[in-house]
Amino acid sequence: MKKVYLDNASTTAIRPEVVAEMTKVLTEDYGNPSSTHTFGRHSKSLIELSRKSIAKNLNSSAQEIIFTSCATEANNFIIQSCIKDLKITRIITSKIEHHAVLHTIQILQNQYNIDVDYVNILPSGEIDVVHLSDLLSKEGKTLVSLMHVNNEIGTVLNLERVVKICKQYNAYFHTDTVQSIGKTIFNLQETPIDFLVASAHKFHGPKGVGFAFIRKGIVLNPLLLGGEQEKGLRAGTESVHNIAGMAKALELSYLHLTEEEKYISELKKYTIDQLQLQYPDIKFNGNPTETFYNILNVILPFSEEKTAMILFNLDMKGIAVSRGSACQSGSIKPSHVLAEILNEEDLKKPSLRISFSHYNTKEDIDYLIENLKLI
Ligand code: PLP
């Protein structure tokens, strides 16, 4: 059966060069990086070379990169440490954050009795930056946590503008950059973000590894205790093959960025045109010409009966997309992101998130639309 993978915001296919690098490390470089013999020192040097390479790609310094098991862990570490170690008393965030941020903040709010304010969301799904300034003008040691690219609708936060506002009010700024690291240029020397996070599997690297960027000068206490790894911040033997694979994946993403961004943007435009041709009543969640180039979220003008089975029907044809308006296992639970921007009627209609990579083709899109027509 033909297979069409259009769920790249969820995870991505690993690049063959990354598999080759990881296989080499797994088979040849098996020393424990904490061991002092040659095997160990070699593994340690692979980790440090990976750290340097990642830092270079983001124009930061190696000491600012802390390896974690995923972005969820990195988000948890940063948010918890800001409360416990930096003694922030208030967090400003939004209702459209990924649950790795939103739920973490909501749970910690009760545990530590901190204030949480939510920035308004504009109808386009973008953050109301004017409201952010209003919220910041209130007293209190504050962390602002706002994601860069929204994983469901692809809206993009203007990081430079938000960083400037945060600095103006002396607030820390954390951003979940899981959807944008490796897909757009970062210059962390020029953009004074305090914290950001990434997950390798979103940029054609392995699952089970990510990193936190923590700006030099910010002192946090360990996340995991019991070892000296990661400057004592995260004890536990490092996953050398995953770390080397992540560094390779990021290097390749930036090496091919220009051509891949252009290719994917054209594919997104083709998808919009073809969908509009087929469904003149189609609507988009977020302005599709302004949302991030690899994410397109559409509201299909389908009847309610067709809505429930849409993902199942596409899956039967080998097509992977995701549904913006429902959770797994058939239970119709509106997406917390779409619930913030859609009216009741549109929320009932099937929203589909189509997310692209450079491995997709126009034939994939034609196949998707052919099969949508059959539903
Ligand atoms: N943040 C965003 C924006 C995401 O899209 C995801 C993954 O879907 C995560 C965080 C969590 O990443 P991970 O599951 O790799 O920890």
User: Mutation test of ligand 1: which of 152, 202, 294, 295 has the most ligand atoms closer than 8 Å to its C-beta?
Assistant: 202
Calculate mean pLDDT across residues 227-233: 94
pLDDT, one tens digit per residue, over 172-213 is: 999 999 999 999 999 999 999 999 999 999 999 999 999 999
CB 246 within 8 A of CB 271: no
Calculate mean pLDDT across residues 139-145: 95
Span from the CA of 209 to the centroid of ligand 1 (angstroms): 11
CA dihedral (84, 86, 89, 94) positive or negative: negative
pLDDT, one tens digit per residue, over 100-137 is: 999 999 999 999 999 999 999 999 999 999 999 999 99
Q: Is 102 in the pocket of ligand 1 (CB under 6 A)?
A: no
User: Mutation test of ligand 1: which of 178, 181, 207 has the most ligand atoms closer than 8 Å to its C-beta?
Assistant: 178
Confidence of residue 277 (pLDDT cuts 50, 70, 90): very high
pLDDT of residue 152: 97
pLDDT, one tens digit per residue, over 289-346 is: 999 999 999 999 988 778 778 999 999 999 999 975 434 335 567 899 999 999 988 8
Query: Average pLDDT, whole number, for the chain?
Result: 95
Span from the CA of 28 to the centroid of ligand 1 (angstroms): 31
Instruction: Provide long-range contacts, Cβ within 8 A and 24+ apart, for 227-232.
Output: 227/34, 228/34, 229/33, 229/34, 230/66, 230/67, 231/63, 231/66
Look at residues 207, 237, 242, 249 and name the one whose alpha carbon lies nearest to residue 31: 237
Task: Using CB atoms within 10 Å of the CB of residue 286, give its burial: 0 to 12 exposed, 13 to 18 middle, 19+ buried.
Answer: buried
Maximum separation of any 2 CA atoms in the chain, in Å: 67
Q: Is 100 in the pocket of ligand 1 (CB under 6 A)?
A: yes
Q: Is 246 in the pocket of ligand 1 (CB under 6 A)?
A: no
Calculate mean pLDDT across residues 23-45: 98
pLDDT of residue 332: 60
Span from the CA of 72 to the centroid of ligand 1 (angstroms): 6
Place of tokens 């210059």: 187
pLDDT of residue 59: 98
Of 5-19, 29-43, 44-58, 297-311, the range with the lowest mean pLDDT is 297-311
CATH 3.40.640.10 residue ranges of the chain are 16-255
Residue 236 backbone class (left: φ over 0; alpha: ψ -120 to 50; beta: rest): left
Report domain 16-255's class: alpha beta
User: Residue 290 and residue 288: Cα distance in Å, rounded?
Assistant: 5
pLDDT of residue 324: 58
pLDDT of residue 334: 80
User: Residue 231 and residue 66: Cα distance in Å, rounded?
Assistant: 8
CB 277 within 8 A of CB 259: no
- Structure token pair of residue 112: 């530590």
Span from the CA of 149 to the centroid of ligand 1 (angstroms): 11
What 3-state class would DSSP assign to 308? helix
Calculate mean pLDDT across residues 212-219: 97
Answer whether residue 269 shows pLDDT above 50.
yes
Q: Is 325 in the pocket of ligand 1 (CB under 6 A)?
A: no
State the DSSP code for 184.
Answer: B
User: Residue 109 and residue 95: Cα distance in Å, rounded?
Assistant: 14
User: Residue 279 and residue 286: Cα distance in Å, rounded?
Assistant: 18
Q: Is 181 in the pocket of ligand 1 (CB under 6 A)?
A: no
Calculate mean pLDDT across residues 268-281: 97
The total of other beta-carbon atoms located within 10 Å of residue 371's CB is 17
pLDDT of residue 327: 42
User: Residue 311 and residue 326: Cα distance in Å, rounded?
Assistant: 10
User: Mutation test of ligand 1: which of 8, 96, 98, 175 has the most ligand atoms closer than 8 Å to its C-beta?
Assistant: 98
Place of tokens 């959807």: 179
CATH 3.90.1150.10 residue ranges of the chain are 4-12+257-372
Calculate mean pLDDT across residues 12-40: 98
The CATH code that applies to domain 4-12+257-372 is: 3.90.1150.10
Of 13-27, 145-159, 304-318, 322-336, the range with the lowest mean pLDDT is 322-336
